[in-house]
Amino acid sequence: MPANLPPDYYAAERRYREASSIEEKLNILRKMLAIMPKHKGTEHLQGDLKRKIAKLQSQQEKKQIKGKSSSLDHIPKEGAGQVVLVGLPNTGKSSILSGLTNAHVQVAEYPYSTFKPVCGMMVYEDILVQLVDMPPVSVQFTEYWVFNLIRLADLVLCVVDLSCEQPNEQVKQIYRILENQHLVLTKCGEKHPQGPIAAKSAIIVATKADTTGADIKGELLFREFGGQFPVVFISIKNQANLDILKEKTFQALQVIRVYTKIPGRKEDLDKPYVLPYGSTVFDAAKVIHNELADRMNYARLWGSEKYDGQRVERDHVLEDRDIIEIHHK
């Protein structure tokens, strides 16, 4: 079958031959891949372009390491938790970040359009959660610092595309790629013995739920992985289930919100303190101020139906949305 390439492709090819920098060549190759018709006649050419992209990215990586100019393998955490978007090329990670935050991100139809981490803050009720979009993972090539960001993150959103033929295989491929880097995806809250392998809590996020056949593929996806991971089907285009994804993300982070009250005044419900599951009244006091924790005698608690200003001790375990009034010596 003939390739039937458009004139824009040949024009980009000429620019590629004249380009001098690695970054310029990468941008042109990505555009060539985007404008190329996708059919059997171009399969070999697509593969050739992807190999060139991988080779240039490898050269770019070595250059960054040699120059010690990259600080991409660590991103300071903000908000209630750091959540990384992990997926194969063109699965919709950038669209998720764009749809859930105010971050300015390039959303493109061609693969490898994300080549550095992009952060945004997702609003969930009265807190913020940090989302990090990263370059895709693949068997051919993955940016060297991506795996370190995954290792340091609080939660992984494993992004797959319901418009492709086999989203189940995408999950398995991601799992294998991470496993080769001593990373394993686990059910939220599942405990693993410490060792050389880092266990990361994960949610499977299936994008493009509005496409033809997505319901059938989604059912197969849930049937195979629903017992192991939370699975959320979303459509950025239709804004479908984005609130559910936010809620599942908050639950998977395993944190609680605690509000404070000064004796004789009204409670402050604007800015909660965010603490890990299992935190006590004393833990909350330490987060508020170390000196307050040292001087604390007891607290009064407002929360579930069981508590309406009752006295609780320092070791009382808090729940989400509890209000505490700390009394000190």
7-37 burial, b if ≥16 CB within 10 A, otherwise e? eebeebeeebeeeeeeeebbbbbbbbbbebe
pLDDT of residue 69: 40
More confident residue, 40 or 112: 40
Burial of residue 307 (CB within 10 Å: 0-12, 13-18, 19+) is: middle
pLDDT at 28 over 70: yes
Residue 84 CB coordination number (10 Å)? 25
Share of the chain above pLDDT 70, in %: 90
Average pLDDT, the chain: 87
Is the pLDDT at 193 greater than 60? The verdict is no
Closest Cα partner for 188 from 81, 78, 318, 317?
81
Contact 90, 133 (CB under 8 A): no
User: Is 114 a residue whose pLDDT tops 60?
Assistant: no
User: pLDDT, tens digit, for every residue of 199-210?
Assistant: 999 999 999 999
Nearest one of 88, 136, 102 to 116, comparing CA atoms: 136
pLDDT value at residue 230: 96
Which pLDDT score, from 0 to 100, does residue 179 have? 93
pLDDT over 90 percentage in the chain: 56
- State in words which class domain 82-253 has: alpha beta
Q: What's the mean pLDDT in 238-266?
A: 94
pLDDT (0 to 100) of residue 119: 93
> Which pTM value belongs to this model?
0.76
Q: What is the 3-state secondary structure (H, E, C) of the chain?
A: CCCCCCHHHHHHHHHHHHCCCHHHHHHHHHHHHHHCCCCHHHHHHHHHHHHHHHHHHHHHHHHHHHHCCCCCCCCCCCECCEEEEEECCCCCHHHHHHHHCCCCCCCCCCCCCCCCCEEEEEEECCEEEEEEECCCCCCCCCCCCHHHHHHHCCEEEEEEECCCCCHHHHHHHHHHHHHCCCEEEECCCCCCCCCCCEEEEEEEEEECCCCCCHHHHHHHHHHHHCCCCCEEECECCCCECHHHHHHHHHHHHCEEEEEECCCCCCCEEEEEEEEECCCEHHHHHHHHCHHHHHHEEEEEEECCCCCEEEEECCCCECCCCEEEEEEEC
Euclidean distance between CA atoms 221 and 234, whole angstroms: 13
**In this structure, are residues 140 and 51 in contact, taking their beta carbons and an 8 Å threshold?**
yes
Q: pLDDT band for position 294 (50/70/90)?
A: confident
User: Per DSSP, what are the bridge partners of residue 40?
Assistant: none
Q: Taking residues 241-254, what's their average pLDDT?
A: 96
Q: Where are the domains of the chain?
A: 7-67, 82-253, 256-328
Instruction: Average the pLDDT over each of 167-176, 188-197, 208-217, 229-238 and give the range with the smallest value.
Output: 188-197
What CATH number does the domain located at 256-328 have? 3.10.20.30
Look at residue 127 and tell me whether its pLDDT is greater than 50: yes
| Interacting residues of 173 by C-beta distance below 8 A, sequence separation 6+ | 88, 139
